Chains A and B, each alone.
Chain A
Amino acid sequence: MIEDVKQVLAMHRLMVQSRVLDEACCEESAHWFPSQGEEAVPVGTFYGLRPDDVCAPAYRGAPIVYLMRGMTLEQVWAGALGKRTSFGRGRHFSFTAPIELRVFPYIAGDLGPIISQATGAAFAQRYRKSDAVTAVSFGDGTSNRGDFHEAVNLGAAWRLPIVYVIQNNHWAISMPIEKATAAKRLADRAAGYGIPGVAVDGNDVLAVHTAVQEAVRRARAGHGPTLIEAETFRMRGHIAADTASYRAPEEVEEWRGRDPIQRLEARLADAGVLSAEDAQAVWAEAAQEVGEAKAAAQRHPDILPTDLGLDEMFATPLREA
């Protein structure tokens, strides 16, 4: 049932780290976008990609993907704390990441354009005749934007090496997905683009990972994109400060019973791979690492008024007359 124990334990550890970091960031900032309960989607999607593959994770829960790509916890904290060492030196939100890690950053605050940009990364991979692929994830709400339609249609028409993953957490701020579309399953939209659409349990990290890896194989082999809908749930408000009073508490409670980390731990315990004590040790280690990284980042220098970068707009300077 569990084929590669090392991999699964690594994914478990990442999910725990993501949860612990996210809770700490929510305490730090009322404007943090909580990802608790959704960890299986970013971890399952982006785990196991090659260094030359391009990752464009959904903003919610993205920091764990940055860590998977080689960013350190301390660097993530530098962003969350708004330190001078953060990516972009305070020029943009903390949840973007260094592009040199082949992670596409959130360039601006509008949702959707990154789906086309990721499609452009896949275009470049094809142009260079490399067998690298691109994986992009985004929310259910974002999948209603025209960007989604144009990008997926183009990626499909050109059979580009890309995997599109909808992180369906049921809510877009206060808009439930049932009211945002008449489609029963978002994966069904794939039929309109002539590509495979796969709906998976987004709270089962192995199911997500298996589906994405199958899509990655297809993409690498030149068979074009796959659209994957990973169904999960946004356990907290849109931002840390949002009490989400617009939805029924029963709905949240129902999903609490499907917590992706608890489910994985139960499964690993059944398989005799991870005991309760082992799991406890993973949580304790994550808490310690996250705490230490935060303390270290707090000592980083603060952003200066001169960091505005007035003279840094252009890569090619204008020649003086």
Chain B
Amino acid sequence: MPGKRMTFVEALVEGIREEMRRDPNVFVLGQDIGPFGGSLRSTLGLWEEFGPARIFDTPISESAAAGVCLGAALEGLRPILDISFGEFLASAMPQIVLHAPVVHWLTLGKARVPLTIRTKVGEGPYGGHPQCFEAWFTHVPGLKVVMPSTPADAKGLMKAAIRDDDPVLFFEHMYLYHGVRDVVPDGEHLVPIGRAEVKRPGKDVTVAATAWMVHRALQAAHQFAAEGIEVEVLDLRTLAPLDTATLLASVRKTGRLVVAHEAWKIGGLGAEVAATVAEQAFGSLRAPIVRVGAPHTPVPAHPTIRRAFLPDAQGIADAVHAVMKYAA
């Protein structure tokens, strides 16, 4: 497939740019997204092309910004709300969890909320605002939640999110932002919301992962291949609604499941993934399910304890070893 090599954030911006060119109702609203180019360059170049008629710098008012976008969506526009960092979603919770997701159902489909909310989470080069709160939103009916791991998916899911008529929460992992560069297909490249992807096939154990943990799982899988253990790496990509069909098919094949995410293990998405498999594919399991996630403390600042906190490739490897102890 013809394409260009680009970073994760370049792919995100390209997805937004193409959709803004395609549809004059698409606009971006957020903090420091204009001439400044967005935190971590999240909107670089959009101001130069679209200017103040389509790119709106807001005061520090996450709640009002979310409400304005919801109101504009009810009036038929297609807002992209750039919430600089995931931690600030907490300031806009009523709009995001109580209001936006309810509208379509409440109005018997007469009103829709084509709203994309993008935000940054996770470990990154600057270390700031790292907390991963995506599980909060997967609990809420009516929200679609996506979290890509590659530049191609970043662009394809961004375009799908902007065209979607429901509120989509788009989690962008900060380590991937400038740290991952890969080929992004040219042209009309859309990745459907609600579909996981097998990144590497294997027959012995499924590692279902999100965002940066997908890369760490692939790293672990590579090492296990040398030991003769075939790890299947599943990138969940859409966290809500979960692609249970792909998940269950994988576990039915391998019989073993490890779930890995950077967010806290307790109450994390992994719990939902594990419970789904336990409920619907218990008979296929050859080993207990193991979850890899962060310990139950806030994300620490200093690198030494940050390293002790973050789930890593070693954590995934240990989990794979643990489930492989159960033979047959």
Minimum CB–CB distance from A84 to chain B (whole Å) comes to 11
A110 to B193, CA, bound (A): 30
A284, CB-defined interface residue at 8 Å:
no
Q: Is B223 at the interface (CB under 8 A from chain A)?
A: no
Q: Which of A120, A123, A127, A315 contacts B112 (CB 8 A)?
A: A315
Q: How far is the CA of A108 from the CA of B192 in the complex (A)?
A: 30
B267 proximity list for chain A (CB < 8 A): none
The interface stretch among B6-14, B57-65, B170-178, B228-236 is B57-65
Asked if A119 meets B68 with Cβ closer than 8 Å, knowing A88-B106, A124-B76, the reply is yes
Q: Is the CB of A113 within 8 A of B194?
A: no
Are B243 and A321 in contact, with the CB atoms below 8 A?
Answer: yes
Minimal beta-carbon separation of B21 from chain A (angstroms): 17
Report whether B71 and A118 are in contact in the complex, using a CB–CB cutoff of 8 Å: yes
Interface size on A, residues (CB 8 A): 48
Beta-carbon contacts under 8 Å, B93-116 to A: 94-95, 98-99, 101-114
CB closest chain-B residue, reference A158: B56
Cross-chain contact of B58 among A100, A124, A154, A320 (Cβ < 8 A): A154
Does A150 contact B74, Cβ atoms closer than 8 Å? Answer: no
Any A CB within 8 A of the CB of B324: no
Interface: B82 (CB within 8 A): no
State how many angstroms separate the Cβ of A119 from the closest Cβ of chain B.
5
Whether A154 pairs with B194 at a CB distance below 8 angstroms is: no
Whether the Cβ atoms of B111 and A127 lie closer than 8 Å is no
Contact B246 A116 (CB under 8 A): no
For A321, give its contact among B72, B111, B165, B245 (CB under 8 Å): B245
Pick the contact of B105: A91, A124, A147, A320 (CB < 8 A): A91
Say yes or no: A117 contacts B99, CB within 8 Å: yes
Task: Decide yes or no: A117 and B67 within 8 Å by CB, A124-B75, A154-B61 being known contacts.
Answer: yes
Is A153 part of the binding interface, using a Cβ–Cβ cutoff of 8 Å? yes
Chain B 129-151 per-residue mask, 1 if CB under 8 angstroms from chain A, else 0: 00000000000011010000000
Tell me, yes or no, whether A61 is within 8 Å of chain B by CB: no
Contact (Cβ within 8 A) B77 A124: yes
Chain B residues packing against A (C-beta within 8 Å): 27, 58-59, 61, 63-77, 94-95, 98-99, 101-114, 141-142, 144, 163-166, 192-195, 241, 243, 245-246
Which 3 pairs across A and B sit closest by C-beta, in order of nearness?
A: A120-B71, A116-B67, A150-B64
A-B contact pairs, 20 of them (CB 8 A): A88-B108, A91-B106, A92-B102, A96-B106, A104-B74, A107-B98, A107-B102, A107-B106, A108-B102, A112-B94, A113-B63, A113-B98, A114-B67, A116-B70, A119-B67, A122-B71, A127-B72, A147-B63, A315-B109, A315-B112
